[in-house]
């Protein structure tokens, strides 16, 4: 009996030793070497080694865990200067972005951002300065089998943000009669509106979700070549070159009539003031439409000659043989800036489409609208006389209405946010 009891004791002792050895082996395997591998980068820059960590590593499934932790030290990885409002975060290796959290602090110690990586994806810097960032990146408990380490590494970095505005064009240039969109984006100081200077013509800017947007005209008589464009935003200056290409303009007959006494002065007094007005958001959306159906008597940009063969000028718009009492409609949405009768141009309408773009309609026999009315595209404006002239100008520079009816040119540019 004593031998049997001794045998049981030895078996139990051996079993305990075996279990203890196995447990010790699993405990050893759950050392720091078992911690997940991975890293974190910000705006393409590696944040280096973790400054601290807190992990639980499974020893026996999800029942027994071994903890590894180290308080974050004071070391911060120094990153290169950031010049973009967005700073993408990338989590690599065995770490998961869904378990990452960030705390961004400015030079005054104020927390500018606190949240998850998914929220950081929508964050953008609004001020220049010095910042520190703490990122906790790891793995969250998932319940998957076999169990995996749960916890996080702490990454710390410091960097400066020096954001600058950007200047982009819808195209490198345009042929005569076209338009080029001018987009100002990037870092935009609050309360500052860009101002543009270019020999081609004026630019009025409107606010968009991506920044500021304006439109540069390239008139029929702009000479071929490169034109410097300068945009100022506060104390900052942005520059670009706009390339102008020649267009092939036709010849057309003209029968100029001597204006009635005082007609030119009346026209200048009533109309020229609109050339320097351009504030307001764009009304139009999509291609323009012809205000009146009919055959073209004079295309845009045409060289005009009288019956004797003498050159008399250029066509700043499109002249259409409409036929009397044919309806005239709005080529695009806008506000009626002027509606009246002038000795030089007959029934005259100025339709402000916003952002410096205006339609000038001459030769109406009857007007159905008054100054101040806002009309939609295709709205009835009145009735045509025998012929109708349609000019589109940005400031005092004309552009080709035919391009606008085809939806071509900078007026239809959509900048990306």
pLDDT tens, position by position, 69-119: 889 988 899 999 998 888 999 999 989 888 899 999 999 999 999 999 999
Distances in whole angstroms, Cα of residue 400 to Cα of each of 225, 315, 414? 19, 10, 20
Q: Which of 183, 184, 179, 92 is nearest to 138 (CA)?
A: 92
Q: Which of 394, 415, 403 is nearest to 178 (CA)?
A: 403
Strand partners for 298: 319
The DSSP 8-state label assigned to residue 224 in this structure reads S
Longest dimension (CA), the chain: 142
Cα(108)–Cα(106) distance, integer angstroms: 5
Instruction: Let me know if the fold of 34-161 is the same as that of 165-245.
Output: yes
CATH number of the domain located at residue range(s) 251-399 in this protein = 2.70.70.10
What are the helix (H) ranges across 183-295? 263-271
Cα(199)–Cα(325) distance, integer angstroms: 41
Indicate the pLDDT class of residue 2, thresholds 50, 70 and 90: low
User: What sign does the CA torsion over 262, 264, 269, 271 have?
Assistant: positive
Q: 133-173: per-residue pLDDT in tens?
A: 999 998 887 767 777 888 899 999 999 999 888 999 999 99
CATH number of the domain located at residue range(s) 34-161 in this protein = 2.60.40
Q: Does domain 165-245 have CATH number 2.60.40.10?
A: yes
Q: Looking at residue 6, what is its pLDDT? A: 55
pTM: 0.72
At a CB cut-off of 8 Å and minimum separation 6, what does 76 contact? 51, 132, 156, 157, 158
Domain layout of the chain by residue ranges: 34-161, 165-245, 251-399
């Amino acid at each position: 009996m004593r031998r049997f009891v001794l045998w049981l004791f030895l078996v139990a002792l051996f079993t305990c030793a075996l279990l203890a050895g196995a447990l010790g082996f699993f405990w050893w395997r759950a050392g720091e070497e078992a911690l997940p591998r991975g890293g974190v980068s910000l705006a393409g820059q590696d944040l280096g080694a973790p400054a601290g960590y807190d992990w639980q590593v499974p020893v026996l499934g999800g029942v027994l865990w071994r903890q590894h932790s180290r308080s974050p030290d004071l070391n911060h990885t120094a990153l290169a200067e950031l010049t973009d409002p967005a700073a993408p975060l990338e989590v690599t290796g065995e770490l998961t972005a869904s378990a990452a959290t960030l705390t961004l602090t400015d030079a005054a110690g104020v927390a500018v951002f606190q949240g998850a990586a998914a929220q950081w994806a929508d964050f953008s810097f609004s001020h220049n300065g010095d910042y520190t960032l703490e990122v906790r990146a790891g793995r969250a408990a998932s319940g998957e089998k076999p169990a995996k380490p749960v916890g996080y590494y702490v990454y710390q970095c410091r960097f400066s943000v020096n954001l600058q505005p950007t200047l982009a064009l819808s195209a490198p240039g345009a042929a005569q009669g076209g338009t080029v969109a001018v987009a100002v984006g990037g870092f935009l100081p609050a309360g500052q509106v860009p101002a543009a200077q270019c020999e081609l013509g004026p630019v009025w800017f409107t606010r968009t979700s991506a920044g500021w947007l304006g439109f540069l005209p390239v008139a029929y008589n702009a000479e071929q070549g490169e034109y410097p464009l300068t945009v100022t935003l506060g104390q900052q200056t942005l520059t670009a070159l706009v390339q102008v290409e020649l267009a092939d303009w036709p010849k057309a007959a003209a029968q100029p009539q001597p204006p009635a006494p005082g007609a030119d002065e009346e026209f200048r007094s009533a109309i020229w003031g609109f050339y320097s007005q351009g504030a307001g958001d764009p009304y139009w959306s999509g291609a323009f439409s012809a205000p009146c159906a009919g055959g073209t008597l004079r295309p845009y940009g045409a060289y005009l000659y009288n019956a004797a063969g003498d050159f008399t000028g250029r066509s700043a718009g499109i002249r259409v043989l409409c036929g009397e009492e044919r309806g005239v409609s709005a080529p695009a949405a806008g506000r009626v800036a002027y509606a009246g009768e002038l000795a030089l141009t007959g029934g005259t309408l100025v339709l402000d489409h916003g952002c410096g773009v205006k339609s000038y309609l001459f030769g109406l026999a009857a007007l159905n609208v008054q100054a101040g009315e806002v009309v939609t595209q295709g709205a009835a404006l009145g009735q045509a006389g025998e012929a109708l002239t349609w000019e589109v100008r940005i400031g005092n520079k004309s552009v080709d209405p035919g391009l606008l009816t085809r939806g071509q040119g900078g007026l239809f540019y959509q900048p990306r946010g």
